[in-house]
Each structure stands twice: as C-alpha cells, then as structure tokens.
Amino acid sequence: MPKDTFFNLPDEKRQRVIDAAIDEFAERSFHEARVTAIAEGAGIAMGSFYQYFEDKKDLFKYIIELIVKEKLAYINQDMMANMQNYGFFQLLREIYSRGLRFAKERPRLLAIGLSLTNNEALYHEVYGDHVQTSDDFFRKLLAKGIADGDLDPTIDPILVARLLTMLNYALADFVYEDGKLDLDDMEIIDKMLNLIENGIKNRAAALGGC
Amino acid sequence: MPKDTFFNLPDEKRQRVIDAAIDEFAERSFHEARVTAIAEGAGIAMGSFYQYFEDKKDLFKYIIELIVKEKLAYINQDMMANMQNYGFFQLLREIYSRGLRFAKERPRLLAIGLSLTNNEALYHEVYGDHVQTSDDFFRKLLAKGIADGDLDPTIDPILVARLLTMLNYALADFVYEDGKLDLDDMEIIDKMLNLIENGIKNRAAALGGC
DNA sequence: GATTCATATGAAGCTCCATTCACATGATAT
DNA sequence: ATATCATGTGAATGGAGCTTCATATGAATC
C-alpha cells in the first residue's frame, strides 16, 4: 500500500507517477522495470519515490489494483444486473466485446495484466488466496446456461470455463497484431462465438436427411 | 552459437551444463536467470562458462534450439507422413495428445518455451524472421479439413488456427495445475475436441423435430 | 522569527550479477 | 624436457539499479 504522502499529492502529480509506472511496467516485466525510469518519467527525484512507496513491489501492487478496478468497470457496468434477461450466448458476446474494447482502449493495462499472469510467484503475492479468477466467473455463467437449457448439459463446466478464458485471451492477443486479420471487432467476436456455439464440423452432409 | 570448446567437451560434462541451464531457465525468466547458478549447477567454474559460450544469451538460444528440436520430434514422428490417411479431427486429436505428452514428460522445457513467448523482443531475436508458427501449421491442417469436407467451409481459417493454438496452450496449462480437473489426459482432450467439433449449444431441443 | 512538521532531493551505499583477466594445468608436439 | 596449444579457474572488475541518508525547502504554528 502506498504511503499517505502519495495520496496527499496534488492530483496532477500523482497521476504523473501512475502514468510513468504504467509506461514502464507495460514495457518491461516487474523484475526488469526500473524505479529510476519511473521516477524520471514522472519528473520526481529518486528520494521522493521512497517517500511515496515502500518499494518497487508496493507500487506494482497498487497499479495492478487500479487495473483490476478499471477492467471490472468495463466488464461489469450494469451487465450483471441485467444478467437474467439474456441468454448465454448473448451474455458471452457482451463479455467478449467489452473485454476487447478494454484491450483496444487500454493496451498498456492489458500488457501489464498479461505479464502478471506469466509470473506465478508474483501473481500469488499480489492476489493472495482470494483469487476471483476469470474461471470462476465463467463457471457460474455456464451453470446458468445449462440450467436455462441454452447449453449442452453434458459439457464439463470446469474445463469449458478454462477454455472460454483462454479464448478471451486469444481475442485480446489479436489486438496487438493489427492487420493479421482483416475483420472488424464484432466480426471476430461473432466468428469466435460461432465456433463456441456450433463447433467447426461440416454439418451440411450430416443434416442432409433432415 | 556455443564455441568449439563446448562441443569438444565429454558428453557427460556437456550434458551437465545443458541440464543446469534448463533447470535455471525453467525457474527464472531469461533476465532473472543467473549464469552463476548455471555454472554452479553444472559444477564448472565461472571462467569455464565463458570458454563455452559468448554470453548468457548465446546459451539461451542454444537451449531454445534444443527444445524446438525435441518438441518437433514429439509432434512430427511419422505423423506427417501418414497425414493423408486421417480425418481432420483424428489428426487434431493426435497433435493435442502428443503436445500434452511433451508437456507432461518435459515440463521444464515447456516452461522455458512459454517464458519465451512472453518476451517479444527476445522471441524475435531468437527466431529472427522465419517464424514457423504453430498458426501456420494449423492453417494448413484447416485448409485440408475443408478440402476434404470434414469442416464447415464457411469458417475463417486464420482466426480458427489461432484459436486452436490457444486451446493447445490451454491444454498444456492444465498439466501445471494437477487436481484442478479430475480427468485423465485423453478424457480432457476428447472433451476439448468435442467443443471444437460440435460447440456447446444444446442441440436436444433444436433437433427435436428430426 | 523560531520551531515543527511534511515533503523534496540527489548523491552515496550496497548488493547482485555478467563478464574479464591473469594465471594454472595438462596434453601433444618438437 | 621445452614449447605450444587448448582448456580450466576463481578472484577481480564494472555496471546496473534498488534503497537509504543527510540535508534542503517550505508551509504552518507558536
């Protein structure tokens, strides 16, 4: 947790520190990121940095906290409230589309988030035990989908939840590689959803008899 | 490229160096990995290390080269030769199952490979341009599957290739988290394939009329 | 205007490594 | 046995970067 001195800072200066930190952590892993670069980027003295934070990790945890808050704001806004009104695939479409928007609008935040998932030790230190994972969320969604009759009841919710999470990551990945795919965002999402909904098997032959 | 002195080493000693390097790179990112730990692990003097390698990166690239060779051996063996005899989903099942076996039998190699995909700069330095990606491979497979009539011809092969790659990663991920899923390997793979083949929509209702 | 308190500063101090160096060792050739 | 060559060694060297420290600045209070 940053010290009081940090929160007492004028908004503009505090924001400069946050921005500089996001820049550095987005470019380099936690271990590679340099406190000196952050201080310089924010236009503060090295000594000041340690007036504001215990150490580098203290700042990093704070930044992660901000990212989580912001991401949840993107995903959650009103959606959970109206959850009952939508079918499974509508909800999934909404989740993916909001996740993609977050990735496009805050690519540096996305990069930091991804870098954290690649560092297990740090990940646990940041989140402790109460890891409200993306998996948990999808599991609940799947349970509801099965209960509502939208989904094949024989699927394994734990496995599928993980797969949906991974596909969500895949989506974010496309953002980094512009031009790889000549599609607009909703088109990508709809094609992904089509895979999730129907698979990729050729049904034309099989359904001939219907 | 390691120096001649390295390749002139007795096999046993050369292997000790390779093993020590794999241990260290599997535990820590390239940047965090310590030459001192590798030298100590291999039972050689620091000076010797620099008789064998230009620097830390020289060794790292060599290790990656070994990993790629070994992984290809797992995946490729005879399979590509018999490709024509199998349908798309049989091939995919085979690929996933071999990938999973590699992950289970060589978890440290898997970890190093994953860590490399998380470091774009290093990744490009190691592979240069001729990045024979997993994507390319799946694209060809998909093209064949469509040509053979196994797959829905309206899918987007580029997008789906990426999704199949990500699902392959997801599979490897499960290996790390034992117990999360109470299934044996082939069961996981078959459930994944079922998602890919048929999606997760509940067809019972829709097919009632058939 | 002196004291106190909070904050600012950048130059040390320190630790951790990668890399180098000056000096063995030991084999092979002369 | 001496010279030459390849290899081995671990103690310097040096740089990078986190953290601390001694000292300023400046506002608020007495």
State the CATH number of the domain containing residue B171: 1.10.357.10
pLDDT at B59 over 90: yes
Q: What is the value of pTM for the model shown?
A: 0.92
Q: Strand D and chain B: which residues 21-50 have CB closer than 7 Å?
A: 44-48, 50
Q: Each residue of A73-90: pLDDT tens digit?
A: 988 777 877 888 899 999
Q: Each residue of A13-66: pLDDT tens digit?
A: 999 999 999 999 999 999 999 999 999 999 999 999 999 999 999 999 999 999
Q: Say how many CB pairs under 8 Å bridge A and B.
A: 123
Using an 8 Å Cβ cutoff, are A49 and A16 in contact? no
Using an 8 Å Cβ cutoff, are B189 and B171 in contact? yes
pLDDT at B207 over 60: no
Chain A residues whose CB is inside 8 A of the B180 CB are: 158
- pLDDT for B209: 47
Provide the chain A residues 22-61 that lie in CB contact (below 8 A) with chain B. Answer: 29, 31-32
Structural domains counted in chain A:
1
Q: Each residue of A144-189: pLDDT tens digit?
A: 999 999 999 999 999 999 999 999 988 888 777 765 666 788 999 9
The DSSP secondary structure of B9-55, one letter per residue, reads S-HHHHHHHHHHHHHHHHHS-TTT--HHHHHHHHT--HHHHHHH-SS
Q: Give Cα separations from A162 to A79, A133, A166, B127 (angstroms).
A: 21, 10, 6, 30
Segment among A186-190, B100-104, B158-162, B182-186 with least mean pLDDT: B182-186
pLDDT at B61 over 80: yes
CA distance B129 to chain A (A): 15
**CA distance between the termini of chain A:** 63
Q: Each residue of A100-140: pLDDT tens digit?
A: 999 989 999 999 999 998 888 899 999 877 666 788 899 99
- pLDDT for A203: 86
Segment among A177-191, B20-34, B136-150 with least mean pLDDT: A177-191
Element (H, E) at B115: helix B107-117
Range of the domain at A65: 4-208
- pLDDT for A180: 61
Using an 8 Å Cβ cutoff, are B134 and B172 in contact? no
pLDDT at A11 over 90: yes
> How far is Cα B210 from Cα B206, in angstroms, rounded to an integer?
9
Mean pLDDT of B7-27: 97
Q: Each residue of A126-136: pLDDT tens digit?
A: 987 766 678 88
pLDDT > 70: percent of chain B: 92
